[in-house]
A and B are shown apart, each in its own frame.
Chain A
Amino acid sequence: MLKIKDLHANVEGKEILRGINLEVNAGEVHAIMGPNGSGKSTLASVIAGNETYEVTAGDIFLNGENIEDLSPEERAHNGVFLSFQYPVEIPGVSVTNFMKTAINESRKAKGLEDMPAKDMLKLIRDKSELLEIDRKFLSRSLNEGFSGGEKKRNEIFQMAMLEPKLAILDETDSGLDIDALRIVANGVNKLKSKDNAVVVITHYQRLLEYIVPDFVHVLYNGKIVKSGTKELAMELEEKGYDWIKQEAAV
């Protein structure tokens, strides 16, 4: 599904990603961990097509196709979804209108008619129930004044609405209380199937108890320095990153 080869990326002339290699197949869950500032969010943004970051070398393939020249919206139409670490506040656009626009623009890109209003309402109702989101919430301006946890829950609501092939969840667990974490993880697990894949970026083992990864990678200094299975996450939780940093320095 996703194949990243020797990916290098800069921001403002500074190299942040220094040769990432990663392969994610349909049906898999991958976790990416790593110290603050190591480049996890940058990697997620680059996959989603954020032009703030300049790809200087390497390739990203989505279902075998090089997506270098695709705009963020085209990547979204091809099934990429990024749950933002810091969702952007957009005053003046309600959650509902935003979702309607997003869904219908994706349909338009696929040559489909707008979703009938009735179906749209039902979809919104079903997905907001799944994530236990109050209806009143949906008429509020997107992310404006949302609490940290509400923003994250709203990201997963959007994911549930858009049903992506490849979901990248950037620290979706941070800011969630214990109940919300369970609800959000449940939302993610509902979407999981053999046809799609999830990449979870997290600092904590806790989320991985709900969304169980097939592989765990450690990103440090712009490179994946270690990969393993879910046991690696437990080891990191126990020991921290010092030993990884030492290994990487050797």
Chain B
Amino acid sequence: MDLKDKLVSSFLAFENNVDVHNPVHDVRTEAIKNFETKGFPSRKEEAWKYTSLNSLQKIDFSIFPKKESSLEYKDVKKYFIHQIDTYKIVFIDGVFSSNLSETTHDGVDICLMSSALTKPMYKAVIDVYFNKVASKDESLTTLNTAFSREGAYIYIPKNKVPKKPIEIIHFSTGNDVALMLQPRNLIIAEENSEMQIIERHQSLTSNAVLTNCVTEIFAAKNAIVDYYKVQNDVDSASLVDNTYVDQKDGSHVKVHTFSFGGKLLRNNLNFYQNGERIDSTMKGITIIGDKQHVDHHTLVHHIEPNCESHQDYKGIYADSSTGVFNGKIIVDKIAQKTNAFQKNNNILISDKATINTKPQLEIFADDVKCSHGCTIGQLDEEALFYLQSRGIPKKEARALLMYAFANNVLESVSIPELKVRINKLIANKLGVNLGFDL
């Protein structure tokens, strides 16, 4: 049975384990219908031209984990930003792990989607926000919606700031030969609230994992959401990450995506600016090799006047790796005085590596500042000689130049310990130890 059929028939089994009378289930039912009609996206679609899900669909994924697993903190500590205290929402094979987690209801809600979707006390919030910004049309998003049951639920009320950053981590243990996960996150920042979130998907074995994740973020007036995606998974794990952001007046939402590992990574980041004086920032560093594939698809929809968006993606591609950057900016007719900036710079360090980069601008207003620039280059030989002539060996000199190339993306990382961690991951990835953090 192919993966689509398996998913559609699994929906029946799924229905035995959820409350089908809950209005949320009407949303799911609607969603599975859409997926059943559309199926997995194919390369015939413009948005999937360079990313194929064909080989993944041939794998016989379990749709639900066969049994519950547990992990010891000491064995997975290194995947956390353990140098600092954080709230933690941790899942093992898709199931919430209370012993690895630290949730809270103390003035803010940092807890579980499963509670939010079922408990009456959250009903009012779910009615207003659940599946409101996520696409009801895009097939993988609707697939996730159909199976939405578990994930992180974060609700920060007006004027509140959680005491510490929040980590959302999904581990897969390899108990199943191949496992498909579909986490669903809902993040709500009410007026003037603020939060920092770090998200990571980590497989612990070489068994196949496919994660199809959907995150909805709502940033109310003047709210600040600072979101970090750390993607450094093993070569048997693939991730399709769909993030939808709804922003209101004066809110700032930043998403940093660090893509260093995984078999196939597809990031769909969608920002909708439903207000004025909004700032949306998307930054990314991609460093991959072997046959890894990373695809960044971004969308910023400028709907109201006087807003800004900033995109800065850096990519370094080695071996036979492939990259895609597709940045779409839509500026509606009334969205005057929009400032929209987009940069995508790439270095190919092997003849076999490829990158497809494409800005897509649809500008209907006349008083806007828009800039975009894509570059694809090699390492600067003259700079390399300069560094070598000072006694820095070629390998280190190359790494230093690559660091320097990607470095400015890290400037806006607001958690110092995370910045150190990312620096280490980069050094690791480049196979050097430079003895300092840039």
Q: Do A and B come from one complex?
A: yes
- Assess the B386–A87 pair: CB atoms within 8 A: yes
- Assess the B396–A101 pair: CB atoms within 8 A: yes
- Assess the B434–A76 pair: CB atoms within 8 A: no
- Assess the A92–B404 pair: CB atoms within 8 A: yes
- Distance in angstroms between the alpha carbons of A73 and B395 in the assembled complex: 11
- Assess the B386–A90 pair: CB atoms within 8 A: yes
Determine whether A59 belongs to the interface, using a CB cutoff of 8 Å to chain B: no
Closest to A86 in B: B382
Dominant secondary structure of chain B at its interface with chain A: helix
- Assess the B393–A73 pair: CB atoms within 8 A: yes
- Assess the A98–B390 pair: CB atoms within 8 A: yes
Closest to A76 in B: B391
- Distance in angstroms between the alpha carbons of A82 and B391 in the assembled complex: 11
Known: A92-B403, A93-B400, A101-B435. A77 touches B389 (CB 8 A): no
Known: A52-B381, A71-B394. A90 touches B404 (CB 8 A): yes
Which among B386, B392, B403 has the greatest number of chain A C-beta atoms within 10 A? B386
Contact of B385 among A52, A80, A91, A109 (CB under 8 A): A52
Contacts of A102 in B (CB 8 A): 387, 390-392
- Assess the A73–B392 pair: CB atoms within 8 A: yes
Determine whether B438 belongs to the interface, using a CB cutoff of 8 Å to chain A: yes
Of residues 42 through 80 on chain A, the ones whose CB sits less than 8 Å from some CB of chain B are 45, 48-52, 71-73, 75-77, 80
- Assess the A88–B383 pair: CB atoms within 8 A: yes
Of residues 143 through 185 on chain A, the ones whose CB sits less than 8 Å from some CB of chain B are 158, 162
Contacts of A75 in B (CB 8 A): 389
Contact of B436 among A49, A87, A97 (CB under 8 A): A97
Determine whether B48 belongs to the interface, using a CB cutoff of 8 Å to chain A: no
- Assess the A101–B401 pair: CB atoms within 8 A: no
Closest to B404 in A: A92
Contacts of B436 in A (CB 8 A): 97, 100-101
Chain B nearest CB, measured from A102 CB (Å) = 4
Closest to B385 in A: A50
Closest to B403 in A: A92
Contacts of A93 in B (CB 8 A): 400, 403-404, 407, 438
Of residues 123 through 155 on chain A, the ones whose CB sits less than 8 Å from some CB of chain B are 141
Determine whether B405 belongs to the interface, using a CB cutoff of 8 Å to chain A: yes
- Assess the A92–B388 pair: CB atoms within 8 A: no
- Assess the A104–B435 pair: CB atoms within 8 A: yes
Interface contact tally, CB-CB below 8 A: 89
Of residues 86 through 123 on chain A, the ones whose CB sits less than 8 Å from some CB of chain B are 87-88, 90-94, 97-98, 100-106, 109, 114
Contacts of B406 in A (CB 8 A): 92
Determine whether B408 belongs to the interface, using a CB cutoff of 8 Å to chain A: yes
- Assess the A100–B435 pair: CB atoms within 8 A: yes
Closest to B411 in A: A92
Which among A90, A103, A141, A158 has the greatest number of chain B C-beta atoms within 10 A? A90
Contacts of A81 in B (CB 8 A): 389
Chain A nearest CB, measured from B396 CB (Å) = 6
- Assess the B396–A72 pair: CB atoms within 8 A: no
Contacts of B408 in A (CB 8 A): 91-92
- Distance in angstroms between the alpha carbons of A91 and B380 in the assembled complex: 12
Chain B nearest CB, measured from A201 CB (Å) = 15
Chain A nearest CB, measured from B307 CB (Å) = 29
Contacts of B435 in A (CB 8 A): 100-101, 104, 114
Which among B383, B390, B391 has the greatest number of chain A C-beta atoms within 10 A? B391
Contact of B392 among A80, A92, A101, A141 (CB under 8 A): A101
Determine whether A84 belongs to the interface, using a CB cutoff of 8 Å to chain B: yes
Known: A88-B382, A88-B383, A100-B436. A76 touches B390 (CB 8 A): yes
Known: A73-B393, A101-B400. A88 touches B438 (CB 8 A): no
- Distance in angstroms between the alpha carbons of A116 and B382 in the assembled complex: 31
How many positions in chain B have a CB within 8 Å of any CB in the partner chain? Answer: 28
Chain A nearest CB, measured from B330 CB (Å) = 31
- Assess the B438–A77 pair: CB atoms within 8 A: no
Chain B nearest CB, measured from A81 CB (Å) = 8
Of residues 187 through 237 on chain B, the ones whose CB sits less than 8 Å from some CB of chain A are none
Known: A71-B394, A101-B435, A101-B436. A90 touches B387 (CB 8 A): yes
- Distance in angstroms between the alpha carbons of A92 and B401 in the assembled complex: 8
Of residues 239 through 271 on chain B, the ones whose CB sits less than 8 Å from some CB of chain A are none
Of residues 396 through 423 on chain B, the ones whose CB sits less than 8 Å from some CB of chain A are 396-397, 400-401, 403-408
Which among B380, B388, B407 has the greatest number of chain A C-beta atoms within 10 A? B388
- Distance in angstroms between the alpha carbons of A82 and B389 in the assembled complex: 7
- Distance in angstroms between the alpha carbons of A105 and B396 in the assembled complex: 9
Chain A nearest CB, measured from B45 CB (Å) = 37
Closest to A88 in B: B386
- Assess the B438–A97 pair: CB atoms within 8 A: yes
Chain A nearest CB, measured from B436 CB (Å) = 5
Contact of B391 among A84, A97, A106 (CB under 8 A): A106
- Distance in angstroms between the alpha carbons of A52 and B435 in the assembled complex: 30
Closest to A84 in B: B386
Chain A nearest CB, measured from B203 CB (Å) = 32
Known: A100-B436, A114-B435. A76 touches B404 (CB 8 A): no
Known: A71-B394, A101-B435. A91 touches B404 (CB 8 A): yes
- Distance in angstroms between the alpha carbons of A142 and B382 in the assembled complex: 14
- Assess the B383–A90 pair: CB atoms within 8 A: yes
Contacts of B392 in A (CB 8 A): 73, 101-102, 105
Listed by A's residue number, 6 A-B pairs whose Cβ atoms lie within 8 Å are A52-B381, A71-B388, A93-B407, A105-B393, A109-B393, A141-B404
> Interface residues, chain B, CB within 8 Å of chain A?
380-383, 385-394, 396-397, 400-401, 403-408, 434-436, 438
> Interface residues, chain A, CB within 8 Å of chain B?
45, 48-52, 71-73, 75-77, 80-82, 84, 87-88, 90-94, 97-98, 100-106, 109, 114, 141, 158, 162
Given contacts A90-B383, A109-B391, 15 further A-B contacts (CB under 8 A): A48-B385, A71-B393, A76-B390, A80-B389, A88-B382, A90-B386, A90-B404, A92-B408, A93-B438, A98-B387, A101-B392, A102-B387, A104-B435, A105-B392, A106-B391
